[in-house]
Chains A and B, each alone.
Chain A
């Protein structure tokens, strides 16, 4: 069954009912196996344990690379991508939070009544897949350093748009088993990450009503477009990137550039809300393509996944127990009817 990311608590509830409130999230391969463990606990204090750590992941991935050097290996997220997927779910933080906070305290939340120019956030391509607007906490409320809005250069969008589809599932099935037949005609590895970036881009553009400025691809063109907007509309653009060169180029344009550092390690364990766990499962399903939980296989991509599935952040659940399947189908029918009535 196809299910929206924000409804994954249906699955968590049913796992808890079955006595699986503590469960491992695993990659289908024996080599990678357990990625992390979730202990659901209370609704606000689930515990996520990363007993495997990044080194073990890196070693196992390299081992797979020796056996299946091309498509299969390239499809597996690199260590930094695995870490960024976890970061995007909000349960581990960026590495230079203090520095970013200082920057936002200084340049965010301008006094518009005193005639100060509004502050708009803009992003480099490398941050977009990781829900960066949320991770940085730019969305108002009570946090300091709010921005007044967002500016998006179309060059960023275009840099996130490429396709690398699976036209031959055999190497995947041979390497990791029959669940990978679902890969047929679906985006592979980095193309899935690009899709995540596009989703963030569209969400910011459509829901936050960001200003979109036209640009070509490439750092210089993207920065130039932000700069032009900054000058034309007397605003301050706070430009975030993971790339040092990009930030320096932005500063050379007298834009306010700030580097965002990703973590390079995982804690042994951390706490999360169930909402974070939903997001974590979704991110892992997308970057790995498929992950396994007790009695359930979660597909980030599957044969026939379409644009609407991407837009609604749907995953496909395959309950390997008919009893569980029946319960999930029933729950989903309630939730979907409820949402239709609310509209």
Chain B
């Protein structure tokens, strides 16, 4: 079965990749990944997508197919919604299990994807909480008690 991971780019790699690593640790190992990007953070997105492949394969998955959607204006709300719709509808067509990660990226990106997650009744709506002193570190070196993968589909 396909498993889709939908997330946002960020100004640093850790918040993009750590939630994925935490989810893989909890045995959600994606086959397909969608990343929202804009030109300002493109270098970070490049690095993050490369590392996402390492994370998935390190957890026994095949190299995932990664789709990066770059929007020219980060506040182009319609483009953000379009990005999410495309990813979610492709997932529905494939009868995939879907996780949206709202941890990284601009706050309004997260808010929009949070709403979309409920609208499309995704399987997981993840947010990763990290103790401040471990910001910028990668998941395997953060003490387990200092990082929590919260699934908001279970909170509401």
Which residues of A are at the interface with B, using a C-beta cutoff of 8 A? 6-7, 9-10, 12-13, 16-17, 40-43, 274, 329-335, 337-339, 341-342
In the bound complex, how far is the Cα of B140 from the Cα of A246, in angstroms? 45
Given A10, A17, A330, which contacts B141 in the complex, CB threshold below 8 Å? Answer: A10
User: Is B115 an interface residue, CB under 8 A from the partner?
Assistant: no
B50–A341 contact, CB under 8 A? Answer: yes
Min CB gap B138→A, angstroms: 4
**A334 touching B143, Cβ below 8 Å:** no
In the complex, which residues of chain A have a beta carbon less than 8 angstroms from the beta carbon of B58? 329-331, 333-334
The reply on B51 being an interface residue by CB < 8 A is: yes
- In the assembly, what is the distance between CA of A149 and CA of B2, in Å? 58
Which secondary structure dominates chain B's binding surface? Answer: helix
B40 within 8 A of A: no
Can you list 29 pairs linking A and B with CB atoms under 8 Å apart? A9-B141, A9-B143, A10-B141, A12-B143, A13-B143, A16-B144, A40-B143, A40-B145, A42-B143, A42-B145, A42-B146, A43-B144, A43-B146, A274-B143, A329-B58, A330-B58, A331-B58, A332-B140, A333-B58, A334-B54, A334-B58, A334-B140, A335-B140, A338-B13, A338-B14, A339-B138, A341-B50, A341-B51, A342-B13
Q: Tell me the smallest distance from the CB of A98 to a CB of chain B, in Å.
A: 28
Quote the shortest CB–CB distance from B20 to chain A (angstroms): 10
Smallest CB-CB A-B distances: 6 pairs: A330-B58, A43-B143, A331-B140, A43-B146, A338-B138, A341-B47
Q: Which residues of A contact B51 (CB under 8 A)?
A: 334, 337-338, 341
How many angstroms from the CA of A62 to the CA of B54 in the assembled complex? 50
- Nearest A residue to B142 via CB reads A9
CA of A6 to CA of B59, assembled, Å: 22
Q: Does B139 contact A (CB under 8 A)?
A: yes
- Is B55 an interface residue when CB atoms closer than 8 A count as contact? yes
Q: How far is the CB of A324 from chain B (nearest CB, A)?
A: 13
Alpha-carbon gap, A330 to B139, bound state (A): 12
Q: Contacts A41-B145, A43-B145, A331-B58 known; list 5 others, CB within 8 Å.
A: A9-B141, A330-B58, A334-B138, A335-B138, A341-B47
Q: Are B140 and A10 in contact, with the CB atoms below 8 A?
A: yes
